[in-house]
Amino acid sequence: MSDNHNHIEPQINESEIIKVRHEKLDNLINEGMNPFLQTKYKITAYSNEITDKFESLEGQEVSIAGRLMSKRVMGKASFGHIQDTKGQIQIYVKRDLLGEDEYRHFKKMDIGDIAGVKGIVFRTQKGEISVEATEVILLSKSLLPLPEKYHGLKDQDLRYRQRYLDLIVNPEVKDVFVLRSRIIKEIRNFMDEKGFLEVETPVLSNHSTNAAARPFRTHHNTLDLDMFLRVELELMLKRLIIGGFDRVYEIGRIFRNEGMSTRHNPEFTMIEMYQAYTDLEGMMNLAEDMIVHIADKVIGKREITYQDETINLNSPFARLSMIDAVKQYTGVDFESFEQDDEKARAAAKELGVHVENNAVWGNVLNEVFEEKVEENLLQPTFIYNYPIEVSPLAKRIQGREHLTERFEIFVTRRELGNAFTELNDPIDQRQRFEKQAIAKHGDEDYTIDEDFVTAMEYGMPPTGGMGIGLDRLIMLFTDAPSIRDVLLFPTMKPKE
């Protein structure tokens, strides 16, 4: 049991608390002790180091710094907790050891103030490892009280809007973002070991060439030119493959001016990778190896829990064609009426899946898959051979030109990644772009990237390419129910 309890401010309204804190600051300034003039403080130990290495640090002097999270004043002696970047540790403050003036200043400190504490490491009679203070210095004044009387921030919307408060009062949240950083670092290690070169490509583009995603538009004043925030990394990275880099990848921010949900944020992080002289199967192996590598190196196990369901990340992952997946989960064999649009629409109607009256076989197959199959894909599963209608940048399957060499990987019933045997025929590519342009007639944001087609005309080697949504991958490994839980500052609608 702790030797202290969270200090509770008097039952006065917040405006009064703020007024008192400002008055305290004014008094400090008048005494020549403006805390905002402090510039640095030498830290010799962190909270977790003191507790983990207590045997060697007992009786030694340490200097710690952090936020005062609790305070209990008991006449000539007081207890408090300092929260630093590694955790919390108790401090024991005595008037006789600190001195009359310093002890008086400590008693006037507020919960949330930033303090530097120097003292001796010891264990209290109740067994709590603590620092007996010989010095307490106010390093920064907290002018606003922490929320909900410091017992925690529960309002989810407020936690997303004011992540700094969330991190202060729910320090375990920090663990998610530490793990996020470790995962991304390990992905880089994995890609580097596979011989890939990390590159950076422009965020701003003159074009918005993408089959589905709606872009954010901006304007370059000097050039008097409308530009777009990128919706993918693909076309720039493929240019590098054409230019002679055999293996490239980029971890970058993507922007899509679309809806928001527990799985979608207008800006998100992706890794895209392209490898010359490989194909769809090479990308499958790469994706599987990467996910297993993260499980081994970062999590330390291949069986994890996501939202109370067990996920098995052992190789090999399941692999199903889209046609076979639909057949397995609905009983309908789209191969038996391949490219028969009317029979496909009738099959969808029979399954209760709404499709447009003019929907073609490929679009219907994809709709049935999304509505009837995805909900079953809890364990890691590769779904491959997508219809050409929903795969404008993938290479066609020889002999079955209405299907493409494309896969998506699904885990926990959601798509994590998308990969192709890349289209490298510039004539076919131009025709697909032009078909998109017709489909998007009236969309002033859509333009054909002529330079990309030109680059392809110089010759692009057979290539495998893949994109993986890192936010969703991190959701999986941190057991996060919403993408906002793994974004430090998710997009939020302004408060009215």
Instruction: Tell me what pLDDT residue 263 has.
Output: 86
Distance CA 349, CA 329 (A): 16
Domain match, 216 and 133 both? no
Q: What is the DSSP string of 442-483?
A: T-TT----HHHHHHHHT----EEEEEEEHHHHHHHHHT-SSG
Q: What are phi and psi of 45, to 5 degrees?
A: -155, 155
Is-cis flag, bond preceding 462, omega within 30?
no
Residues 179 and 282 in one domain: yes
Angle between helices 280-294 and 470-478 (to 10 degrees): 40
Same domain, 147 and 181: no
CATH number for the domain harbouring residue 184: 3.30.930.10
The reply to whether 186 and 312 lie within a common domain is: yes
Shared-domain flag, residues 121 and 224: no
Among candidate residues 289, 375, 294, 283, the one with its CA nearest the CA of residue 329: 375
Identify whether 456 is part of a domain.
yes
Residue 406 lies in a domain: yes
Task: Using alpha carbons, select from 130, 118, 47 the residue that is nearest to residue 87.
Answer: 47
Burial of 230 by CB count in 10 Å (0-12 exposed, 13-18 middle, 19+ buried)?
Answer: buried
Which residue range forms the structural domain that includes residue 32? 14-151
Shared domain check, 406 and 305: yes
Question: Domain end: 119, 151, 183, which one?
Answer: 151
What is the distance between the alpha carbons of residues 129 and 10, in angstroms, rounded to a whole number? 29
User: Which tokens belong to 162?
Assistant: 């004011």
Contacts of 495 (CB under 8 A, 6+ apart): 161
Count of C-beta atoms within a 10 Å radius of residue 140: 15
User: Domain ends where: 117, 151, 185?
Assistant: 151
Instruction: Answer with the one of 151, 183, 213 that is the final residue of a domain.
Output: 151
Look at phi and psi of residue 300 and say left if phi exceeds 0, alpha if psi is from -120 to 50, else beta: left
Residues 197 and 145 in one domain: no
Q: Which residue, among 366, 473, 363, has the nearest Cα to 409 in the 3D structure?
A: 473
Q: C-alpha distances in angstroms, 144 versus 199, 310, 345?
A: 43, 43, 61
CA separation for the pair 283, 291 (Å, rounded)? 12
Is there a domain that residue 329 lies in? Answer: no
Cα–Cα distances in angstroms (integers) from residue 70 to residues 5, 7, 154, 237, in the given order:
7, 5, 19, 52
Q: How many domains does the chain have?
A: 2
CATH of the domain at 28: 2.40.50.140
How do the pLDDT tens digits run along the chain, 496 residues long? Answer: 344 444 444 456 889 999 999 999 999 999 999 999 999 999 999 999 999 999 999 999 999 999 999 999 988 999 999 999 999 999 999 999 999 999 999 999 999 999 999 999 999 999 999 999 999 999 999 999 998 644 556 678 888 999 999 999 888 899 999 999 999 999 999 999 999 999 999 999 887 765 568 889 999 999 999 999 999 999 999 999 999 999 999 999 999 998 888 889 999 999 999 999 999 999 999 999 999 999 999 999 999 999 999 999 999 999 999 999 999 999 999 999 998 999 999 999 999 999 999 999 999 999 999 999 999 999 999 999 999 988 877 899 999 989 999 999 999 999 999 999 999 999 998 988 888 777 766 566 667 889 999 999 999 999 999 999 999 999 999 999 999 999 999 999 888 7
**183 in the same domain as 110:** no
> Same domain for 219 and 84?
no
Distant-in-sequence contacts of 257-262, Cβ < 8 A, 24+ apart: 257/214, 257/215, 257/216, 258/213, 258/214, 260/491, 261/483, 262/481, 262/482, 262/483, 262/484
**CA 359 to chain CA mean position, Å:** 36
* 40 and 178 both lie in a single domain: no
Q: Compute the Cα dihedral for 57, 58, 60, 61 and give only its sign.
A: positive
Task: Based on the fold, state whether residues 88 and 210 are members of the same structural domain.
Answer: no
**Do 235 and 201 touch, CB atoms closer than 8 A?**
no
Q: Hey, which residues does 248 pair with through a beta bridge?
A: 197, 274
Residue 426 inside a domain? The answer is: yes
Q: What is the pLDDT of residue 117?
A: 98
Do 96 and 43 belong together in one domain? yes
> Quick one: pLDDT at residue 14?
85
> How far from the centroid of its chain's Cα atoms is residue 81's Cα?
31
In whole angstroms, how large is the CA radius of gyration of the chain? 29
Answer whether residue 296 is part of any domain.
Answer: yes
Indicate whether 495 belongs to any domain.
Answer: no
Which residues does 125 contact at the CB level (< 8 Å), separation at least 6? Answer: none
Q: What is the CA angle 369-372-376, rounded to 5?
A: 100
Instruction: Give a yes or no: residue 332 inside a domain.
Output: no
Q: Report yes or no on 229 lying in a domain.
A: yes
Sign of CA dihedral 466, 470, 475, 477: positive
